[in-house]
Amino acid sequence: MAVIEEGLGPDDLRLARQRVARGARVTPLLPSDLLSGRLGQAVFLKCENLQAGGAFKIRGATNFVAALDDAARARGLITYSSGNHAIALSLAAKRAGVPAVVVMPETAPAIKRERAKALGAELHFRGTTSLERHERARELAEERGLTMVPPFDHPAIVAGQSTCGVEIIEQLPEASAVVVPVGGGGLLAGIALACAYHKRGVRVIGVEPKGAAKMSSSLAAHAPVTLPSVGSIADGLLPSRPGDITFAVAQRYVHEVVTVEDDAIADAARRLLVEERLLVEWSGAVGVAALLSGVLRLPGGPAAIVLSGGNCDPAMILAAGAPAGPAVMPPAPSVVPPSQSFLRG
């Protein structure tokens, strides 16, 4: 299993924690009245929608850029992304004082384009699939000598994302399960490794759109699968293939991966906004969608659901979701504070 362990051992995760602390927030873990009441058990929301850059992606980007030598940073950075990794790399590059180039799909949401551009990135657009924008990024990197920053399938990216899992372990030591949105699998793999190394017994469960079921299909096939096409409102979860590293980690450490329909995703995002007062993009709402729609049943005990991002237009969320009942303002949630951790050193 060297593909997992190279650059992803406990020491690598500890080093990532130190680096990421300089560029990312410790996001709150909030009790969910919506889910706890519905499921009859304590459910908490890990609010990466409140993260710097609007999504968890700043964790991996910060760790990757910090790990580069001065020459690699000075050449300039390039990535390919549906949006959130583009924003994260743009922010990390701006902080490091180096240029960033991002290749996004022609269908990228305007809010994600605008945020990457506002951070100083040079934007390019190619096609609609991850394979198309990857190819264009590779061409530009070769032409201009830029350093490629992969969106998910690299040890430094996965190690950076693992810090989200470490925070959950600190904030909810009694957690029985963690539910994670799945795009290319970087966040899923990072959280799975954090739990495997430091909180064995926690079920790590992935959720992906039914129209982009690349990880669940790969796990069923016992090898990474490339889907012939993908489609979903969850624009951040549309890679057609998981990474080699992320698949290997998921195969070894992830309990299961389930899929949800777009209607359930839209309803979950709207209910999060109306009932929990949390703005969460469709990609970030898939875990809540899986629970509300009944496709996922949690083990007993407290559970954490990762809300992976919030780069979206609230009007679009309200327009797309199904009615969620009266918009009654809930009481202000209490934040579960982080504890001291052996991974902080």
Domain presence at residue 331: no
Looking at the structure, tell me whether residues 211 and 296 fall in a common domain.
Answer: yes
Residues in the chain: 345
Cα 234 to Cα 82, 213, 221, 296, 307: the distances in Å are: 10, 12, 24, 18, 13
Tokens 């009654």, residue? 328
Helix (H) or strand (E) holding 18: helix 10-20
The answer to whether the beta carbons of residues 262 and 20 sit under 8 Å apart is: no
User: Looking at residues 304-325, what average pLDDT do you find?
Assistant: 84
Catalytic residue among 57, 112, 199, 214: 57
Q: Is 57 a catalytic residue?
A: yes
Predicted local distance difference test score (pLDDT) of residue 174: 96
Cα 42 to Cα 28, 30, 39: the distances in Å are: 16, 11, 8
Q: Checking phi first, is residue 62 left (phi over 0); if not, alpha (psi -120 to 50) or beta?
A: alpha
Residue 277 belongs to what domain range? Answer: 2-54+154-320
pLDDT in tens, 260-279: 999 999 999 999 999 999 99
Predicted local distance difference test score (pLDDT) of residue 131: 86
CA distance 311 to 254: 27
Which of 148, 174, 191 represents a domain boundary (last residue)?
A: 148
- What is the arrangement of strands in the sheet containing 147-148, beginning at the earlier edge strand? 122-125, 100-104, 77-80, 147-148
Looking at the structure, tell me whether residues 177 and 304 fall in a common domain.
Answer: yes
Looking at the structure, tell me whether residues 228 and 316 fall in a common domain.
Answer: yes
| Phi and psi torsions of 104, nearest 5° | -120, 160
Per-residue pLDDT at 62 exceeds 50: yes
**Tell me, what CATH number does 238's domain have?**
3.40.50.1100
Distance in angstroms between the alpha carbons of the first and the last residue of the chain: 27
Looking at the structure, tell me whether residues 139 and 288 fall in a common domain.
Answer: no
Looking at the structure, tell me whether residues 159 and 47 fall in a common domain.
Answer: yes
- pTM for the whole structure: 0.91
SS3 assignment, position 326: coil
Tokens 């290749």, residue? 103
Which of 126, 148, 170 represents a domain boundary (last residue)?
A: 148
Predicted local distance difference test score (pLDDT) of residue 130: 82
Q: Residue 247: CB partners within 8 Å, gap ≥ 6? A: 185, 215, 218, 219, 223, 224
Query: Bridge partners of 77?
Result: 100, 147
Domain presence at residue 342: no
Catalytic residue among 82, 162, 283, 308: 308
- What is the arrangement of strands in the sheet containing 177-181, beginning at the earlier edge strand? 29-31, 43-47, 303-307, 177-181, 203-209, 256-260
CA distance 154 to 272: 32
Predicted local distance difference test score (pLDDT) of residue 185: 97
Looking at the structure, tell me whether residues 199 and 98 fall in a common domain.
Answer: no
DSSP-derived pairing of the beta strands 256-260 and 203-209: parallel
pLDDT in tens, 82-120: 899 999 999 999 999 999 999 999 998 999 999 999 999
Residue 70: Cβ-neighbour burial (10 angstroms; 0-12, 13-18, 19+) = exposed
Domain presence at residue 329: no
Predicted local distance difference test score (pLDDT) of residue 321: 57
How many Cβ atoms are within 10 Å of 175's Cβ, its own excluded?
A: 21
Q: Is 46 a catalytic residue?
A: no
pLDDT band with cut points at 50, 70 and 90 for residue 305:
very high
